[in-house]
Structure 1
Amino acid sequence: MKKLLKVSVFLLLIVSCKTNPFTGKQTLNFQDNSSLFPTAFKQYNAFLAENEVITGTAEAEKIKRVGQRIKNAAETWFDTNGYPGYLKDYQWEFNLVKSEDLNAWCMPGGKIVFYTGILPVCESEAGIAAVMGHEIAHALADHGAQRMSAGTLQQVGLVVGNVATMNDSDKNLLFNAAYGVGSSVGVMLPFSRSHETEADIIGQRLMAIAGYDPMEAANLWVRMEKTNGSGPPEILSTHPSSSTRIQNLRENAPNAKAEARKYGVTNFEK
């Protein structure tokens, strides 16, 4: 038990060991990209091998083109804001995969998949840019690594609590019931929602720097809500509600345009 407690304290002491370049705040992240990225790349390749990758079509080329523009915008932002070489270990790849799912995702290190099912909701290249910016933002802000770190601490807390109550079965049962709900609804879900909100705002900034109208990010979520419904109550979800996202993105669109103008971008594609 003493050894376990020492490990727990050690982890707690190092949880704020990386800085989010977009916010300047310390983040919950003790994952090393040197080991995380290669693992992600292998998983990505395995996924592509097991699914139908669309190549050579106008839609597939559009995904790659938009991805490159958002990637270039990110590089411009990092180089201009004092982070040269920040993306040197990223290995960008943009693939369209056949699936009816309304989804896209980006693995740590810049490996991105768009499902064909989300393209009708995107409607335009600017809509694709909104999704692409959001997914790339997750990778740039190390959200995957932060979720892994949070999950590790959640498990450590569970083990420590069980060890502390192991001699009292009633307390042990009560702890496990309370900890499961409390750590999920009170910590992990809000943590995930904060990542989604952050990725929305960062992604909107990047799409504007890439020359796309940032208001299209809000419009995308209007269409998404009509297509996919409102979803579960926000407090029980890993994502903010569509209405919350739409409001945030509408309010932030002028800020994203102002940021883009710093880089000489004055025209925004819709």
Structure 2
Amino acid sequence: MKSMLKLTTITLISALLIACSTSPTGRKQLILLPDSQLDEMGIASFQEMKTATPQTQNTKKINDVECVANRLIAELPEKYRAQAWEVRVFEDEQVNAFALPGYKIGVYTGLLKVASNQSQLAAVMGHEVGHVLARHGNERVSTQLATSQTLQVAQALSGEESQTKQLIFQGLGIGAQVGIILPFSRTHESEADQMGLDLMAKAGFDPRESVKLWQNMSKQGKSNTPEFLSTHPSNQTRIEDLSAAMQEPLAIYQTLKAAGRLANCY
């Protein structure tokens, strides 16, 4: 028994050392799973969403969202830019959007009532794409696996049902219930905000509108807090952090404006 415990401990420590990675902002993170496995789960989850939730038939809404998505995707690193991203607009009053491993983006029509212009929508979508680029889903699931000392990844990847595989799917929020929006930590949220702000500016959207977006979110009221905000920093903290990080993205935006290269989606 002691030998088994010792072996498990050594295996765990070795895996943690090997799996140490760095996020796009330079933050150390734990990555235990291959990205291909997360992509597979993201694709499966997105398919469930398309089956369970009706997609809008409003052509203008679809075109607006796809235009913003295309502008953002065009500014991604080559590894991500070259992928076949799928974008869908769901007919639902949720004030929400998401991006999943496997290059899937979903926007609910409820968000379009709060994000009142193209730049505010780009702020949300850029934030969500930031989660994918920073591998936050993988990091979150890896942390759960490490915490539970469950390292039977090979069994989980075999395609057979297992306790580990169930844990991974639960960590991603995959299932019939509305758990698809990952409850990321506040560290993840702040990092995605930073990445999204930079991305939207490079894509030709006004980064100052990200602050106005969260002011709009605040007007939703405490008794009607959107699901999108459920695990996020407070609105005021977010507004302050975005404002403090505005100088460089705004300079990028102003340069594009002078060159006549701003986004024109709406």
**TM beyond 0.5:** yes
Q: Could you tell me whether the CA contact under 8 Å between 1:231 and 1:241 is conserved in 2?
A: no
Q: Could you tell me whether the CA contact under 8 Å between 1:230 and 1:241 is conserved in 2?
A: no
Distance (Å, rounded) in 1 between the aligned partners of 2:235 and 2:98: 18
Q: Could you tell me whether the CA contact under 8 Å between 2:136 and 2:184 is conserved in 1?
A: no
Distance (Å, rounded) in 2 between the aligned partners of 1:191 and 1:139: 12
Tell me the SS of whatever aligns to 1:227. Answer: coil
1:147 aligned partner, one-letter code: R
Distance (Å, rounded) in 2 between the aligned partners of 1:86 and 1:269: 23
Q: Corresponding residue for 2:43?
A: 41
Q: Corresponding residue for 1:129?
A: 122
Q: Could you tell me whether the CA contact under 8 Å between 1:130 and 1:203 is conserved in 2?
A: yes
Work out which of the residue numbers 64, 69, 72 in structure 2 matches 1:70. Answer: 72
Tell me the SS of whatever aligns to 2:245. Answer: helix
Shift of residue 73 of structure 1?
1.6
Deviates more, 1:86-95 or 1:115-124: 86-95
Distance (Å, rounded) in 1 between the aligned partners of 2:196 and 2:93: 24
**Deviation sequence 1:185-226 (CA, Å, 0-9, x none):** xxxxx9710110011111011111111110101110011011
Q: Could you tell me whether the CA contact under 8 Å between 2:73 and 2:81 is conserved in 1?
A: no
Q: What is the aligned-residue RMSD (CA, Å)?
A: 2.6
User: Judging changes above 3 Å, is the alpha-carbon distance between structure 1 residues 28 and 54 closer, same or farther for their aligned structure 2 residues?
Assistant: same
Distance (Å, rounded) in 2 between the aligned partners of 1:126 and 1:88: 20
**Deviation sequence 1:79-101 (CA, Å, 0-9, x none):** xxxxxx42267431111101121
Question: Which ranges in structure 2 are unaligned for 5 or more consecutive residues?
Answer: 151-182
Shift of residue 261 of structure 1?
6.0
Q: Corresponding residue for 2:190?
A: 197
Structure 1 position 248 matched with structure 2 position 248: no
Structure that is richer in helix per residue = 1
Match runs of 1:183-262 below 5 Å: 192-229=185-222, 238-260=231-253
Distance (Å, rounded) in 2 between the aligned partners of 1:72 and 1:109: 17
Tell me the SS of whatever aligns to 2:204. Answer: coil
Q: Corresponding residue for 2:177?
A: none
Work out which of the residue numbers 29, 32, 39 in structure 1 matches 2:31. Answer: 29
Distance (Å, rounded) in 2 between the aligned partners of 1:156 and 1:223: 42
Q: Corresponding residue for 2:23?
A: 20
Q: Could you tell me whether the CA contact under 8 Å between 1:193 and 1:239 is conserved in 2?
A: yes
**Deviation sequence 1:86-138 (CA, Å, 0-9, x none):** 22674311111011211111111320111111111101111111111101111
Distance (Å, rounded) in 2 between the aligned partners of 1:48 and 1:151: 27
- TM-score, normalised on structure 1? 0.74
- TM-score, normalised on structure 2? 0.75
Distance (Å, rounded) in 1 between the aligned partners of 2:68 and 2:14: 42
**Percent identical residues:** 34
Distance (Å, rounded) in 2 between the aligned partners of 1:141 and 1:249: 18
Q: Corresponding residue for 1:109?
A: 102
Distance (Å, rounded) in 2 between the aligned partners of 1:206 and 1:230: 32
Rg (Cα) greater in structure: 1
